[in-house]
Structure 1
Amino acid sequence: MSTSVKKLVVCGGNGFLGSRICKAAVSRGWDVTSISRSGEPKWQHVTSSPSPPPWAHKVAWERADIFSPVQYSPLLKGADYVVHSMGILLEADYKGVVSGRESPISGLRKAFSAHSSPNPLEQTITTQTIPPPPPPTSGSQPTYEMMNRDSAILLAKEASAQGVSAFGYISAAGGAPVLPSRYITTKREAEEVIAREFPKMRGVFFRPPFLYDSSRAFTLPLAAATTAGSVFKRFLPGAVAEFMGSAVVKPLQADVVAEAVVEALAEDEVSGPVEVPQLEELAGRGWRKGMV
């Protein structure tokens, strides 16, 4: 493996998981750029402190609209790896839900409301014909199709055009009974299209379970409940376990998944879907390397 400094671009690097991916990459001495609409994180939303941590000063916090490639394509030049970490859990102001500005019930109502969007798997798509999806208008809410699928495909197209070696996509271990099926189907559609349309670029599709961290106190009881569900999963009929999805999959700490993402990108043999057991294995491998 080359000892040259690697360049990583994280789209959505100011989010809960994205910021931790940036942190893990900085700890390896990588050149890290985050791209998001708002630039640097509001630290109180992603950590336990409103002040930026020391590692944050080593990240280039850039602003760009994911649906406007002309704004961020120059930032992808020379990148070894690009990560898409911009999906949404609810078709609502998710950060508003986290901070209390919008209720989870309101978000779920929006998620289950009638909505239609073209399915890219029902179309003949090539790297020449993938159109940029229309950007969200002022006051509109992002949809699963836009954020979980179309933005990832568009970013992958730009990354491939820039000769990026590997593309990481933050997918999910599964859906959940409280979420509409479109949440997970749009993620699987993104995986399939990216793998098919950009074969020269190593696609790594991370499928994390529910993520928790002490900086987000509300995630701790949810993680405990999910852990209990994972213990009883083996007693459930197959169809029931499949219906429960990630609700019965062992949760992981966000830092574990972040370390796994960086380690997987660094290992040329890792490609395709990366499930929960492999995420844990990759994270452990990465931390052991850091102790050497």
Structure 2
Amino acid sequence: MSSKRLVVCGGSGFLGSRICKYAVARGWDVTSISRSGEPKWLAITSSAAPPQWAHKVSWERADILRPATYAPLLKNADFVVHSMGILLEADYKGVLQGRESPIAGLRKAFSAAPRPGNPLERGVQTDEDQDIRPPETAAQLTYENMNRDSAVALAKEAAAANVSTFAYISAAGGAPVLPARYITTKREAESAIASGFPNMRGVFFRPPFLYDSSRPITVGMAGMTMVGKVFNDVTRGVLSGFMGAAGTKPLKVDVVAEAVVEALGDPDVKGPVEVPEIEELANKAWRKGML
């Protein structure tokens, strides 16, 4: 029996790299696509040296906003994962280089200015080599082009390559510190992919805040999020609509990664996958590993 082939767009990231790890453990042929190629390991793990499993991954460079750069890499793939996105829209390079103030960056993120509409209506899926750049800017990453349009365009290319399953890493809900458009663009991506490519199994993971000891700051933030979860439980969800992901139990990043790989291999898993189902899938994968 031939091994499955998985392509992870965003495979050099915090979650994406671990999806690659668990897929390699199953003997799958794994390709990661990102602008950096191989990860900067110290940024996502506790060591600067690549782990052993990393040598079994093909680390490819491509631009998620330019479909022509990655479309050939999807050939013969069984599964494709979109594990990319942004939390805030601030021009980080501009802020770091002093060209833009942090306040100006945050103001952009919370701006109520009109944004591009449905990618299906804007023709994101029409031309194979069309760049995904919204009309309001050519440089700044936005929720629309990163959280939504890049995923829809990737799904379009995956469908054209006859990929059987497409997994999109969405989110459990909006936190009060993030603009509403963060979660609405995630939901728009889910809807566009589900309706636009009915012949491809769509799996939409909705994880909460993710943490790992290799990123100490995430452990502290997970603790704060857990306090919100306890408060939400005690008050019987009275503020759940406002608290969003802040009122949802945080998960270790490896739990979500293992659940994603388990879902890819299970043809019965499709549609939105919420936190309880994520934990169930991870437990199922863990039990298989113990056999």
Aligned to 1:88: 86
1:46 partner amino acid? I
User: How far 1:132 sits from its partner (Å)?
Assistant: 4.5
Provide the rounded CA distance (Å) in 1 between the counterparts of 2:73 and 2:201: 19
- Distance change >3 Å, CA 95–CA 14, structure 1 → 2: farther
1:230 aligns with 2:235: no
Q: What is the rounded CA distance, in whole Å, between the counterparts of 1:211 and 1:104 in structure 2?
A: 24
Q: Quote the residue 1:26 is aligned against.
A: 24
**Aligned-residue offset at 1:134:** 2.2
Structure 2 portions without partners, runs of 5+: none
- Cα distance, 1:48–1:233 mapped onto 2, change above 3 Å: same
Deviation at 1:115, TM superposition (A): 4.0
Distance 2:285 2:94 in 1: 34
Q: State how many pairs are aligned.
A: 286
Correspondence list, 1:54-203, <5 A: 54-92=52-90, 108-120=106-118, 123=121, 128=126, 132-134=131-133, 140-203=139-202
**Aligned in 2, Cα 1:126/1:63: closer, same or farther, shift over 3 Å?**
closer
More divergent stretch after superposition (121-130 vs 201-210): 121-130
Give, as a single letter, the amino acid of the residue that structure 1 aligns with 2:217.
Answer: F
Q: Secondary structure at the match of 2:8?
A: strand
Distance 1:271 1:188 in 2: 15
Q: What letter matches 1:21 in structure 2?
A: I
Aligned counterpart for 2:15 among listed residues 9, 17, 22? 17
Matched-pair identity in %: 67
Candidates 20, 33, 36, aligned match of 1:35: 33
Query: Which residue is equivalent to 1:213?
Result: 212
- Which secondary structure state, in structure 2, belongs to the residue aligned with residue 157 of structure 1? helix
Q: Is the 8 A contact 2:124 2:153 kept in 1?
A: no
Kindly tell me: are residues 285 and 128 of structure 1, through their superposed partners in 2, closer, same or farther at Cα, counting changes over 3 Å?
same
Q: Which string of whole-angstrom CA distances, capped at 9 and with x for unpartnered residues, describes residues 136-159 of structure 1?
A: 999922100010000000000000
Q: CA shift at 1:67, angstroms?
A: 2.1
Q: Tell me the distance in 1 between the aligned counterparts of 2:272 and 2:140.
A: 29
Alignment TM-score, normalising by the size of structure 1: 0.90
Instruction: State the distance in 2 between where 1:103 and 1:35 align.
Output: 31
- Contact 1:8–1:82 (CA under 8 A) maintained in structure 2: yes
